Amino acid sequence: MTIIEPRKHGSAADGRVGGRLSRFEGELKITGNATYALEYPVENVAHAVLVQSTIAAGRVVSVDASKALAAPGVLLVLTPEDDLGLMTAADWFGNRPENQPFHPLPKVVRYNGESIVAVIAESREQAGEAAKLIRITYEEAPAVADMDDPKASEGKLLDAMTVEWGDAEKALAASPVRIEAEYRTPREYHVAMEPHGLTAGWDGEQLTVWEPSQWTHGMARNYAEWFGIPLDNVRIVSPFIGGGFGSKGVALPYGAVAVAAAKKLGRPVRLAVTRPQNFTSYGGRAATRQTISLGASKDGVLLAIVHRGASETSVYMDYPEQTGAATPILYKVENFSSQSRVVPVNAVTPGALRGPGKNPSAYGIESAIEELAYKLAMDPLELRLKNYADHDYQSGKPWSTRRLREALTEGAEAFGWARRSHEPRSMRDGKSLIGWGIGCGTFPVIRAPSSAMIRVLKNGRVEVVSGAIDMGQGTYTILAQTAAEALGVSIEQVDVVLGDSRLPGSAIAGGSMLAGSITGAVHKTANAAREEIIGLALNDPNSPFRDTGANTLVVSEGRISVASGDGPSMTLPELLSVLGRDELEVTRNTLPDDAQSASDRMNAWTSMGRVQGPTMGDTSMHSWCAHFVEVRVDEDFGTVRVSRMVSAFDCGRLYNPKMVESQWRGGIIMGIGQALLEEGLVDPRNARTINNNVGDYLVPTNSDIPDIQVISVGVPDYEASALGGKGVGEVGIVGVAPAIANAVFHATGKRVRDLPITLEKLM
């Protein structure tokens, strides 16, 4: 358990919700004092190394482990022949198949890079060297390398994702102005700085797993169900996470392997997934393709949108990357049709990567809308404002808050959009063609309950405690601010304890839902704690406030006093001491009153069962943004550099603008990588992603990133969350890639419809 103590910067207002308090754990991280999962000091630990398949499909005929077993230090080799006795765990929604065994080291190979064997030795080096001695004999089967493989199918139509209103085909056919184009995105990967891995140890029937986790309670349930032990017997410890971006939400097969090995050996096991293995241990963003047809009147009124999308999935699970997710809600349109397919290929099942669905979807619709603008000879900003969606045409509901118009106009103002010349190739500086583009983004407000505990201690400290996590978004920091403000104590008094499944449960740090959820829970808990303190002070026979005749008291800067200013005033520890108490502990959750049973709670903290989508209430709730980009494209070489960026956001109220701006900028930087660099290169012959390392899978460097000006145009949205914020973590990446593609078109007159925009596409 790690207690993070605040350090104060700036003014006292920084300690309240909305203040620009610096990151609580920042100093620990930059001084190397934050302990990550693979560094956890554990006695007598053994080391596991995975051996992955080098074929795309087939069957493991045999594993010759004799040389590996004879190698120095080797303790154990696990192969598909070993029945680890595991059972399949519940899915995200808590559904669990009956009596279905789970084999984390399978006999049937479904993708290149699937883990087949694990070698466990006294040291990591010994395990790694022995792993090279493993000989696997396969019987190969035909494979589908990717969605462009001639053997790939057209894909399965997912009816649940079909969205229709009006008569889009007919309205399109009748539209005087039409565009149609196909947009494609490649496989993209999380490449978090901290690779996957874990340290796991058993103490009798008690299992402790140190593993970076976006969801400690959810992961604990995965392990409990795999190993058939009570949930309470599993403890996931994850105080620090070196980046997740969606890849660390659930326990993965290698985790089961390490825990099973620890059980067999009767000693702790550490398993570090190598960087190349990271590319297949959890799926990145699926490759997508989508065709978008837009119909409009001659003066630019959007009349129809027809969208047909497809994304890659694995051969063993349907995971849609929803290219139709943003399409229906960005613009006002009376006729709409969207259909989505998944194309099974021999790859690991894709996963959620920052802005899932919305991200490639926005690339499609936001590219198409600019294509339409050029067809109409209309300013792309004007076209967007002209077709501004006054309500959500998909659900028919009003927006809770939607300040996208302000984002567009204030962003345009800050960027200087009015100075733009419309024609492509009309702005240049020597050999640099200069282009400007816009891309809008959106991400739904997803709501979920959470719980928290607050402890007021005799030593003057206040602890905020939750199983929620902080992977850099600022959870530690904003919870201290929330508790300090609601309780009436100074921020210096607050400690925050997070990242442990033994602590009160919370929503997943995913879908941009955690901040809104957990601040709500902490706010509620802190208010309850303050009420309880005041109640005790008024009613306890030992309390000096009992005789003041006051019917309430105030708590401010850690002191409790009578509102009028007359009478006693004391610090909270002084009060605890006159009351004869060591501490005061209050736990609350934000589940409905009729869902407070033990099973309701367990379900809420370990599944998506209580998660509410953006239109489950009376309104439609989303975060919004508009990105304005300037690119410089070398006329001869086709190299693209982003030279200036302004992005305006409506994310409601910002709990800590400093943290939020860093989230936005981080998303934008990933978006620049997506637009210009990132692409999993798949060898068509064996379906292997061959640039599976950070030397070859390129993400932006500092010199690829210009100054990024971010602007908040949001207003508090108390339907979206208790404290008025909407999600900030993912919306930042959404719309960046089309803004860049649009700017590249404006610069060069070339429309690149498949990411990334590498130089040969512009030469």
Partner 1 sequence: MRDFSYTRATTIEDARQAALQAGSAILAGGTTLLDLAKCGVNEPDELIDISHIRGLDGISVGESEASIGALAKMSAVADHPLILKVYPAVAQSLSLAASQQLRNMATIGGNLLQRTRCPYFRDPATFSACNKREPGSGCSALGGVTRNHAVLGTSESCIATYPGDLAVALVAFDAVVDLGSRSVPVEEFFLEPGDRPERETVIAPGEVIIGISIPASAAARNSTYLKVRDRQSYEFAAASVAVGLELEADGRIVKDVRIALGGVATKPWRARAVEQALVGKALTEEVILSAARLSMEGAVAHGGNHYKIELAPRVVARALRTLGGLA
Q: Which residues are catalytic?
A: 730
Asked if 690 touches partner 1 (CB under 8 A), the answer is yes
Of 152-160, 255-263, 413-421, 699-707, the window that binds partner 1 (rule: CB under 8 A) is 699-707
Where would I find the beta strands (DSSP E) of 53-145?
A: 58-64, 74-78, 86-87, 101-102, 108-109, 115-121, 135-140
In the complex, least distance from residue 106 CB atom to partner 1, rounded to whole angstroms: 19
Task: From 643, 602, 644, 651, select the one nearest 622 (Cα to Cα).
Answer: 651
Of 3-11, 179-187, 545-553, 754-762, the window that binds partner 1 (rule: CB under 8 A) is 754-762
* Stretch (H or E) spanning 131: helix 124-131
Asked if 696 touches partner 1 (CB under 8 A), the answer is yes
In the complex with partner 1, which residue's Cβ is closer, 269 or 503? 269
The residues in 581-640 that bind partner 1, with binding defined as CB under 8 A, are 634, 636-640
Query: Contact with partner 1 (CB under 8 A): which of 160, 547, 685, 707?
Result: 685
As a residue count, the chain comes to: 763
In the complex with partner 1, which residue's Cβ is closer, 385 or 759? 759
Task: From 675, 603, 237, select the one nearest 441 (Cα to Cα).
Answer: 675
In the complex with partner 1, which residue's Cβ is closer, 388 or 637? 637
Number of chain positions touching partner 1 (CB under 8 A): 46
The residues in 47-66 that bind partner 1, with binding defined as CB under 8 A, are 54
Of 60-68, 401-409, 583-591, 702-710, the window that binds partner 1 (rule: CB under 8 A) is 702-710
Query: Contact with partner 1 (CB under 8 A): which of 64, 140, 182, 683?
Result: 683
Q: Residue 386 has which token pair?
A: 């002209």
Task: From 328, 402, 400, select the one nearest 358 (Cα to Cα).
Answer: 328
Handedness of CA 686, 692, 695, 701 (dihedral sign): positive
In the complex with partner 1, which residue's Cβ is closer, 129 or 366? 129
Of 139-147, 321-329, 373-381, 677-685, the window that binds partner 1 (rule: CB under 8 A) is 677-685
Tell me which residue has tokens 């290219």. Answer: 323
Judge contact between 491 and 452, C-beta under 8 A: no
Asked if 69 touches partner 1 (CB under 8 A), the answer is no
Asked if 339 touches partner 1 (CB under 8 A), the answer is no
Report the SS3 class of residue 296.
Answer: strand
Query: Contact with partner 1 (CB under 8 A): which of 278, 475, 517, 691?
Result: 691
Report the SS3 class of residue 256.
Answer: helix
Asked if 32 touches partner 1 (CB under 8 A), the answer is no
In the complex, least distance from residue 643 CB atom to partner 1, rounded to whole angstroms: 11
* Stretch (H or E) spanning 521: helix 514-539
In the complex with partner 1, which residue's Cβ is closer, 706 or 749? 706
Asked if 641 touches partner 1 (CB under 8 A), the answer is yes
Asked if 125 touches partner 1 (CB under 8 A), the answer is yes
The residues in 703-722 that bind partner 1, with binding defined as CB under 8 A, are 703-704
Q: Residue 581 has which token pair?
A: 């108490």
- Amino acid found at 361: S
Asked if 167 touches partner 1 (CB under 8 A), the answer is no
Q: What CA–CA distance (Å, rounded) separates 359 from 338? A: 16
In the complex, least distance from residue 705 CB atom to partner 1, rounded to whole angstroms: 9
Asked if 758 touches partner 1 (CB under 8 A), the answer is yes
Report the SS3 class of residue 460.
Answer: coil
C-alpha angle 436-437-438 in degrees, rounded to nearest 5: 145
Judge contact between 314 and 326, C-beta under 8 A: no
The residues in 410-449 that bind partner 1, with binding defined as CB under 8 A, are 430-431
Judge contact between 73 and 123, C-beta under 8 A: yes
In the complex, least distance from residue 401 CB atom to partner 1, rounded to whole angstroms: 38
Judge contact between 248 and 195, C-beta under 8 A: no
In the complex with partner 1, which residue's Cβ is closer, 638 or 732? 638
Of 70-78, 444-452, 532-540, 707-715, the window that binds partner 1 (rule: CB under 8 A) is 70-78
Asked if 700 touches partner 1 (CB under 8 A), the answer is yes
Asked if 90 touches partner 1 (CB under 8 A), the answer is no
Asked if 334 touches partner 1 (CB under 8 A), the answer is no
- Greatest distance between any 2 Cα atoms in the chain: 86
Where would I find the beta strands (DSSP E) of 65-162?
A: 74-78, 86-87, 101-102, 108-109, 115-121, 135-140, 156-157
Q: What CA–CA distance (Å, rounded) separates 215 from 236? A: 9
In the complex with partner 1, which residue's Cβ is closer, 255 or 756? 756
In the complex with partner 1, which residue's Cβ is closer, 466 or 691? 691
CA distances from 311 to 58, 631, 681 (A): 23, 29, 16
The residues in 93-112 that bind partner 1, with binding defined as CB under 8 A, are 112
Query: Contact with partner 1 (CB under 8 A): which of 10, 72, 416, 535?
Result: 72
In the complex, least distance from residue 711 CB atom to partner 1, rounded to whole angstroms: 26
Asked if 550 touches partner 1 (CB under 8 A), the answer is no
Q: Chain-centre distance of CA 407, in angstroms? A: 23
Query: Contact with partner 1 (CB under 8 A): which of 7, 8, 132, 151?
Result: 132
In the complex with partner 1, which residue's Cβ is closer, 306 or 676? 676
In the complex, least distance from residue 704 CB atom to partner 1, rounded to whole angstroms: 5
Query: Contact with partner 1 (CB under 8 A): which of 26, 73, 94, 242?
Result: 73
Side-chain-side CA neighbours of 269 within 13 Å: the count stands at 29
Asked if 204 touches partner 1 (CB under 8 A), the answer is no
In the complex with partner 1, which residue's Cβ is closer, 505 or 673? 673
The residues in 388-407 that bind partner 1, with binding defined as CB under 8 A, are none
Q: What CA–CA distance (Å, rounded) separates 417 from 381? A: 9
Task: From 498, 660, 591, select the one nearest 19 (Cα to Cα).
Answer: 660
In this structure, are strands 269-272 and 163-165 parallel, antiparallel, or unpaired? unpaired
Q: What CA–CA distance (Å, rounded) separates 386 from 712? A: 22
Q: What CA–CA distance (Å, rounded) separates 678 from 676? A: 7
Q: What CA–CA distance (Å, rounded) separates 407 from 386? A: 15
Binding site for partner 1 (CB under 8 A): 54, 71-73, 112, 123, 125-126, 128-130, 132, 276, 430-431, 634, 636-641, 676-677, 681-686, 688, 690-691, 695-696, 698, 700-704, 756, 758-760, 763
